[in-house]
Homo-oligomer: A and B are copies of this chain.
Amino acid sequence: MKVAFAQLNYTIGDFEGNSDKIVSTIEKAKNNGADLVIFSELSVTGYYPHDLLEKKEFIQKAEETVLKIAGICNGIAAIVGAPRINESEHGKKLYNSAFFLSEGKIQSIHNKTLLPTYDIFDEYRHFEPNNEFCIVKHKGENIAITICEDLWDEQPSASEFGKDKLYQISPMEELIKFNPDFVVNISASPFSYNQEDWRKNVLISKAKKYKVPVLYINQVGAQTELIFDGGSVFISKTGEILKELKYFYEDFLIVDTKYIGGKQVQNPSGTIEKIHDALVMGIRDYFWKMNFKQATLGLSGGIDSAVTLVLAVRALGAENVRVLLMPSKYSSGHSLEDARQLAENLNVRYDVVNIQNAVDKFENELAPLFKGTSFGVTEENIQARVRGIFVMAISNKFGHILLNTTNKSESAVGYGTLYGDMNGGLAVIGDVYKMDVFKLSRFMNKDGEIIPENSIVKPPSAELRPDQKDTDSLPEYEDLDQILFNYLELNKSPQEIVEIGFNENVVTRVIRMVNMNEYKRFQAAPILRISSKAFGFGRKMPLVAKY
């Protein structure tokens, strides 16, 4: 059978836009001789609509859209994903379903069985799990339809104490009884640079175990924080990846399910390159899906704002980005020059504003109240917040969205000022550890210097008091990032991290900083997620706790 993979970028709740895309892709598939075209999980609504699923009119709109799409499925079949109402008296109100459409009608509906609720997933909030299984017959072949997690009932979840079987049943064990000719898996699986291979390996192992070809179609595109990388694959029954669709771009490909010939996969790209591409897509999608065009940020001459700016320019174009240079009396001589050089290298508009006059006014006004106290964090924060007002003024006046430049290491230990440098509509590198920010800068400079070398090699500093360096209050980033990765991504205990070989006092101090700063992250901008454990709604910590 000829099956078309439709790897598309959906906007949540945009029924018209999504259905236009789906309909035109069905027509394209038909014109190219496909028998069936497959779309990703919840393609009609976009994944994941969260509590929009609690609105009945949202569900009705989804149902109408599925019917409309079914209407044009003549001479070709399609599989689309959408929520539907659970008509039973018992159980949650909805199912997460795959609709098999052909001959102008919904021919069958297949509900998702395994509903993930870990990390960023929250499907059991809205959906009832399925426990009935059936197969689709199309053009004489048996098709087993599965939805995302249904196919991988084994999880690599560090938070499950080593346990990998989170579910009581395995849908594939049921479906294989119907002797499928191939398995379709419609999916919405987000990108995690540190779980890249795991996903493919699961798919390969399932193809081999059940001796059946697997057609895996994934969502592509960013949904606020979540970045779906695409990378849909066609896997032979011997577990070989025969075809692979693009990463981070929409793509379309027709395969013959009987095909067993040579491989045709994407050029493998490195982790840093993938992170780069993911973040560019993350910015781009945030803007176009919100109908925004332009961005701004504060450019300090340091590495974080430099890398964020390059990503923004690549996502939006230099003409859509403007930056503000806001040196203080504590800025190093080079900083302003490095920032200016970068803006010029990128051909981005920049303005310089003086923050000192405003800072002085605050300090003057507060002097009677602060009598007898000395310069400290309060005064540092005033500087950061004055900068925050300036960039937000540019944002408000000209409609440029402020991009936040905080990296993951800083965010983890609370090294940043609420309502100051933590401001922004989207945190671009908030899931990228400092050492990876450096790697990104090197990657950006690989074909010639864009980011001034000095921004990369100078010791990181917030420049909020004389000769300040990050290492005055933090461990070296090499150590800090490793400790954080073990604590956050791998969910290791302090004791286990010490056993790896880190100093106990340092580990204790770092973890204390992480725990103490939940309140800051609570109010932080949404963070583009590239790892298996980003700050944000995939990590829910109580603010008030003693632990």
Contact = CB atoms under 8 A, between A and B. Distances in A.
A445 interface: no
A418 B392 CA distance: 9
Interface in A35-88: 46, 48-52, 54-59, 85
Interface residues of A, number: 94
A381 B396 contact: yes
Protomer copies? 2
Contact of A389 (B125, B389, B495, B519): B389
B423 A397 contact: no
B397 A378 contact: yes
A33 interface: no
Contacts of A376: 397
Contact of A358 (B118, B361, B526): B361
B377 A389 contact: no
Contact of A537 (B159, B540, B546): B540
Contact of A12 (B13, B351, B547): B547
Contacts of A252: none
Interface string A201-216: 0000000000000000
A547 B224 contact: no
A365 B326 CA distance: 11
Nearest to A54: B159
A51 B540 contact: yes
Given A50-B540, A365-B354, A546 B419 contact: no
A291 to B, nearest CB: 9
Nearest to A290: B544
A523 B520 CA distance: 10
A371 to B, nearest CB: 11
6 contacts: A93-B159, A93-B160, A122-B122, A124-B124, A385-B419, A392-B419
Interface of A: 11-14, 17, 46, 48-52, 54-59, 85, 89-93, 117-118, 122, 124-125, 159-161, 163, 165-168, 222-224, 285-286, 289-290, 351, 353-354, 357-358, 361-362, 364-366, 369-370, 373, 376-378, 381-382, 385-386, 388-390, 392-394, 396-397, 418-419, 423, 425, 491, 493, 495, 519, 522-526, 537, 539-547
